[in-house]
Structures are given as C-alpha cells and as structure tokens.
Amino acid sequence: METKLIKLCDLHAFAENPFHVTENTDMEMLVDSIRNNGILDPLIVRPDSSGKYEIISGHRRFHASKKLGLESVPCIVSDMTQEQAIITLVDTNLYRDGLLPSEKAFAYKMKFDVLNHQGKKTFGQNVAKSEYSLTQIANIANVCEKTIQRYIRLTYLIPELLQMVDERKMAITPATEISYLPQGLQKELLITIESEQAVPSLSQAQRMRKLSESGNLNGDKILEIMCERKCNQRESLKIPADFLDRYFSEGVTPQRMMEIIEEGLNLYAVQHRTVQKSKRKDYER
C-alpha cells in the first residue's frame, strides 16, 4: 500500500456502494472541517483497469472535496480483490451514526454474500456456511443474528416499500414479513397502503405471509386484511353539529342522519374498490 495525491477526476465511486452521500448538516460540517483542516484521513482506493481509481472508503470526503473545488486528495492505494474491497467498504461505513435501514440492509447483505462465498471455498459443502457468516457479522456488529437476518430480508422489498421503512412509515418487523411476499403481491399491498392510508401491523403482515406461502393471497384478500381495524386504532369519531347542519335540514332526526350517512359510505366503498381494481390492472400492463 502507498499514500499519494490523486486528482478528483481520476477517482470514481464504488459501483456497488450501498451508502448514500446526502446533503445534510453532517455534510456541511465535513465540508467546513476539510476547508479548515484539510483531509485528515486519506481515502482508500484501488486501481482499476482503465488506469484510474475506485473509491473503497471516503465517498463523503470525495463529495465534500468536490464541493470545495479541490483538485486532488490524499489516498491510500491498495490492490484489493472484489471481496476484500466489499468488506473494507462495509466495515469502514457500517457503524456511522444515522444510517438508513436500507443502507444497513444492503451492507449486511453484501458482507454476508462475501463471507458465505469464502466459507464455501474454505470449509467445503458440508459446513453450515450461512450460519457461520451470520455469526461473524453479528459478533463484529455487536447485534444478534436475528437482527442481521431481518435487515438482510429488507433487500427483498420493492423500492417503494423499502423507502417507507427508511421514512419510518413502516416498522422493520412487519416489513420483514412482507419481504417474503412475491413482488407482484408487494405491489398489490402498496396500492392498498396508498388507498387506505394505513400500513400493516405485525400480525397483519404475518397473516399475509402465511396466506402467500399457501397460495391463497391476492389483492382482494390484502384489502380485506388491511381494512380490519387494529385494536390500538379504534377511536371514536365525533361529528360537530355545525358540520352536519351543512348537509341536513332542520328536523331530520339523528337516526335518519345515520341512515343517510351509511348509504353515502356504501356508495363510496363501491367506488373505492372499483378504483383500486383499475389501479391493479394498470400495474399488470
């Protein structure tokens, strides 16, 4: 390994980098630090076949340097294999604060695949390679193996559902169960989530997974499950009198008001299901 100054134009990001470079307060602080103190930790790079260099560690420092208009940055040049590069990339980024669930998910998955492949070469086919790989990652990350497994399962979500996990609109545990659904059914669920403005609870997600595995889950069944009221979401709805006065003339009894409201809601439900079926057909085209 050697350390040398390399022009920014000769550097490019790691092709499979799961970590995002985000314009936020942390980036502003990094820019200020480099402006005032320079780059204290050199980037780690490896030469590529074109004579340039692939960044293994230092994507955020690279971005901050571009913002500052720097021409070159200090880099540690190392001839790494693809597997070595992936492990270095993950290990130098995975334990930063504020990582998104999707970043952890793809990082764990990349490292798991590498270690599992190495296990096949090292131990042969009679060893539980995947269990060995999970144990290694869990020990280094100081988390339990089930947590690693849950994160890796998130990589099987369609992008829209994974984004909901990143945005904390859906918890990781039910999202893990949803990840076992085929992509077509995940799209059906997405349509229902958007139309009902609700995300599945753990028990609902588990039921959908079980029905999917038995071949009994479809769009209508997803809608039926998602329309069930959760115990912790049952709230009384109070309609102000002045709101009702806009629609009902004086003398209409409360009982008649309820009958009319129910008739209107039934019409809405029929129209709502028709629109949803139309959306499903659009997905299938």
> What residues in the chain have per-residue pLDDT under 50?
123, 126-127, 231-232
Strand partners, 7: 72
The answer to whether residues 13 and 65 belong to one domain is yes
Domain boundary pick from 60, 86, 112 = 86
Q: What is the pLDDT of residue 37?
A: 94
Query: In this structure, is residue 196 part of a structural domain?
Result: yes
CA angle 231, 237, 240 (to 5 degrees): 170
The predicted-structure confidence for 206-236, as pLDDT tens digits, reads as follows 999 999 999 999 999 999 999 886 544 555 6
268 and 203 in a common domain: no
User: Which residue(s) pair with 53 in the sheet?
Assistant: 11, 47
In this predicted structure, what is the pLDDT of residue 127? 46
Domain with 272 in it: 240-284
Sheet order of strands, 72-77 included:
2-7, 72-77, 43-47, 53-57, 11-12
Q: Would you state the pLDDT for residue 104?
A: 93
> In CATH, what number is assigned to the domain containing residue 70?
3.90.1530.10
Question: Within 13 Å of residue 219, how many CA atoms lie on the same side as its CB?
Answer: 18
Number of domains in the chain: 4
Angstrom distance (rounded) from CA 87 to CA 57: 11
Write the CA distances from 78 to 6, 74, 93, 201, integer angstroms.
13, 13, 18, 47
Q: What is the pLDDT of residue 146?
A: 86
162 belongs to a structural domain? no
Instruction: Report the predicted TM-score, pTM, of the whole model to 2 decimal places.
Output: 0.73
Query: pLDDT at position 151, please?
Result: 93
Residues 280, 217 share a domain: no
pLDDT at res. 126: 42
**Is 137 within the bounds of a domain?**
yes
Distance CA 225, CA 204 (A): 7
Residue where a domain stops, chosen among 86, 117, 142: 86
Q: Is 91 contained in some domain?
A: no
